[in-house]
């Protein structure tokens, strides 16, 4: 049975790129057949099959939807989009395995070499124009399936985040992995393009809408405020996921403070940092968030988080996604749609969904 992530499945790429990169490189899409025939030329989707032979270069390209983003700077994959994964931060926080690794997953395909091919380097990575060399670094990886005998390789990082390509991107300019809420990584996380100046996710403007989904996956259906994600992901595009606010438990002073600014706020008003933000990723935006039908535009704003990223607020309350809500819908079906975080009591407070306007 063919699955979403099998390497020799036919990939349909026409019309899926919403943000063309202007890097002066050819953007012809390659189409794979179900046969094992060799590719005519390198594609951004190629697996990582061996150790690198030289230093990797990271450059910057401009997109129409996400602004300036990091891309591979040289070699056969020049211009290919680079992504970070929010849940990879679990490794930096407590030494857990990388969320994108060769460990078993729901689609039986290695994450770090096949699904999201890691950007590897031999020697210090090179900063191309527009890239801050002080933010470039490396992390040692020992979890690739081609490594033997305790050997290791270096993966390029930007401000500590490991960088990856995406197997659904075929050519320079493709951004299918942008804002992708991924149920396959362990734990699930959100993939983002990378802003080269701030080393923060390059998200474009967040879009809010209403979603109706079963509570807990099997309970009664509820209509709640949700975020539109998976902007360019051809398999499951423009998917919506519930968003949550964080409140203090009775008798405790945890939870978020309300921002008094209507459209934007400064200061660090989110109580969900570090480990909390791995499991409850803040809903981010690169511009003023946009309200869909049934959502009050005047209620939307943002605050500035400690890392400089902009978190969406609703009536001054910061908004969060929940890692267990990540799924891919029909026809591929990885996980199940549902509202899994409503009323969750956590060490940081209680997370609640937001009902629609009366």
What does the alpha-carbon distance between residue 152 and residue 24 come to, in Å, rounded to a whole number? 34
Q: Is the pLDDT of residue 258 over 60?
A: no
DSSP 196-213: TTT-SEE--S-EEEEEEE
> pLDDT band for position 254 (50/70/90)?
low
pLDDT digits over 42-76, tens only? 999 999 999 999 999 999 999 999 999 999 999 99
CB-side neighbour CA atoms (13 Å) of 12:
6
Range(s) of the domain holding residue 220: 207-353
Q: Are 176 and 166 spatial neighbours (Cβ–Cβ below 8 Å)?
A: yes
What does the alpha-carbon distance between residue 11 and residue 92 come to, in Å, rounded to a whole number? 34
Look at the block and give the residue holding tokens 């460990």: 103
Q: At 272, list the tokens.
A: 């969900």
Please give the share of the chain, as a percent, with pLDDT higher than 70. 83
249 and 322 in a single domain? The answer is yes
Q: What is the dihedral of CA 98, 99, 101, 107, to 10 degrees?
A: 170
> SS3 breakdown of the chain: % helix, strand, coil, rounded to 5?
5, 30, 65
pLDDT digits over 109-160, tens only? 999 999 999 999 999 999 999 999 999 999 999 999 888 877 999 999 999 9
pLDDT digits over 279-315, tens only? 999 999 999 999 999 999 999 999 999 999 999 999 9
What does the alpha-carbon distance between residue 227 and residue 244 come to, in Å, rounded to a whole number? 10
DSSP 298-312: GGEEEEE-TTS-EEE
Q: Is the pLDDT of residue 278 over 90?
A: yes
Q: For residue 134, is it within any domain? A: yes
Task: Give the pLDDT of residue 213.
Answer: 97
Last residue of a domain, one of 170, 202, 234: 202
Task: Give the pLDDT of residue 332.
Answer: 84
Task: Give the pLDDT of residue 250.
Answer: 53
pLDDT digits over 316-357, tens only? 999 999 999 999 998 889 999 999 999 999 999 999 999 998
Task: Give the pLDDT of residue 327.
Answer: 97
Task: Give the pLDDT of residue 36.
Answer: 34
Last residue of a domain, one of 202, 236, 265: 202
211 and 88 in a single domain? The answer is no
Q: For residue 273, is it within any domain? A: yes
With a CB cutoff of 8 Å and minimum separation 6, the contacts of 82 are: 58, 69, 70, 71, 72, 119, 158, 163, 164, 165, 193, 194
> pLDDT band for position 81 (50/70/90)?
very high
161 and 242 in a single domain? The answer is no
Q: Is the pLDDT of residue 263 over 90?
A: no
> pLDDT band for position 8 (50/70/90)?
very low
Task: Give the pLDDT of residue 267.
Answer: 44
> pLDDT band for position 190 (50/70/90)?
very high
256 and 240 in a single domain? The answer is yes
Structurally, the chain folds into a number of domains equal to 2
Q: For residue 48, is it within any domain? A: no
121 and 220 in a single domain? The answer is no
227 and 140 in a single domain? The answer is no
Q: For residue 151, is it within any domain? A: yes
> pLDDT band for position 239 (50/70/90)?
very high
DSSP character for 112?
I
DSSP 113-173: IIIS-B-EESSS-EE-TT--TTTEEEEEE---TT--TT--EEEEEETTEE-B--TT--STT
Task: Give the pLDDT of residue 53.
Answer: 94
Query: How far lies 20's CA from each of 64, 65, 67, 137, 218, in Å?
Result: 6, 8, 10, 27, 40
Q: For residue 234, is it within any domain? A: yes
161 and 213 in a single domain? The answer is no
What b-and-e string marks burial along 284-323, b requiring 16 or more CB atoms within 10 Å of the CB?
bbbeebbbeeebeeebbbbbbbeeebbbbbbebbbbbbbb
Q: At 135, list the tokens.
A: 């933010």
194 and 217 in a single domain? The answer is no
With a CB cutoff of 8 Å and minimum separation 6, the contacts of 245 are: 256, 314, 317, 318, 319, 320, 351, 352, 354
Last residue of a domain, one of 176, 202, 228: 202
340 and 305 in a single domain? The answer is yes
Q: For residue 12, is it within any domain? A: no
Look at the block and give the residue holding tokens 């390209």: 61
219 and 198 in a single domain? The answer is no
Q: For residue 31, is it within any domain? A: no
Q: Is the pLDDT of residue 249 over 80?
A: no
What does the alpha-carbon distance between residue 266 and residue 278 come to, in Å, rounded to a whole number? 22
The alpha carbon of residue 321 and the mean position of all alpha carbons in its chain are separated, in whole angstroms, by 12
Q: Is the pLDDT of residue 31 over 50?
A: no
252 and 161 in a single domain? The answer is no
99 and 230 in a single domain? The answer is no
Query: How far lies 314's CA from each of 69, 180, 206, 329, in Å?
Result: 27, 22, 12, 27
Instruction: Report strand pairing: 310-314 vs 244-247.
Output: unpaired
């Amino acid at each position: 049975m063919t699955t979403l992530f099998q390497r020799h499945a036919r990939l349909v790429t026409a019309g899926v790129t919403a943000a063309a990169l202007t890097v002066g490189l050819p953007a012809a899409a390659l189409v794979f057949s179900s046969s094992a025939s060799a590719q005519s030329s390198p594609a951004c989707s190629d697996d990582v099959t061996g150790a690198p032979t030289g230093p990797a270069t990271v450059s910057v390209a401009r997109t129409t939807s996400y602004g300036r983003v990091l891309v591979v700077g040289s070699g056969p994959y020049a211009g290919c989009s680079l992504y970070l994964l929010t849940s990879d931060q679990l490794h930096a926080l407590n030494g857990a395995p990388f969320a994108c690794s060769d460990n078993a997953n729901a689609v039986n395909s290695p994450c770090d070499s096949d699904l999201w091919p890691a950007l590897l380097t031999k020697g210090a990575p090179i900063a191309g124009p527009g890239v801050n060399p002080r933010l470039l670094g490396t992390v040692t990886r020992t979890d690739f399936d081609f490594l033997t005998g305790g050997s290791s390789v270096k993966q390029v990082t930007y401000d500590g985040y490991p960088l990856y390509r995406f197997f659904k991107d075929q050519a320079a300019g493709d951004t299918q992995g942008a804002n992708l809420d991924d149920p396959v990584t362990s734990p699930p996380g959100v993939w983002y393009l990378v802003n080269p100046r701030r080393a923060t996710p390059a998200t474009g403007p967040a879009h809010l809408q209403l979603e109706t989904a079963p509570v807990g996956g099997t309970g009664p259906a509820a209509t709640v405020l949700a975020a539109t994600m998976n902007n360019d992901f051809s398999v499951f595009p423009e998917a919506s996921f519930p968003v949550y606010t964080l409140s203090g438990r009775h008798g405790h002073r945890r939870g978020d403070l309300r921002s008094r600014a209507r459209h934007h706020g400064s200061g660090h008003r989110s109580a969900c940092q570090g480990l909390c933000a791995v499991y409850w990723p803040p809903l981010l935006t690169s511009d003023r968030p946009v309200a869909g039908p049934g959502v009050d535009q005047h209620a939307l704003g943002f605050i500035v988080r400690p890392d400089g990223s902009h978190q969406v607020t609703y009536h001054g309350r910061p908004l969060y996604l929940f890692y267990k809500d990540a799924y891919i819908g029909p026809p591929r079906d990885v996980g199940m749609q549902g509202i899994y975080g409503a009323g969750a009591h956590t060490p940081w407070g209680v997370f609640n969904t937001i009902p629609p306007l009366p």
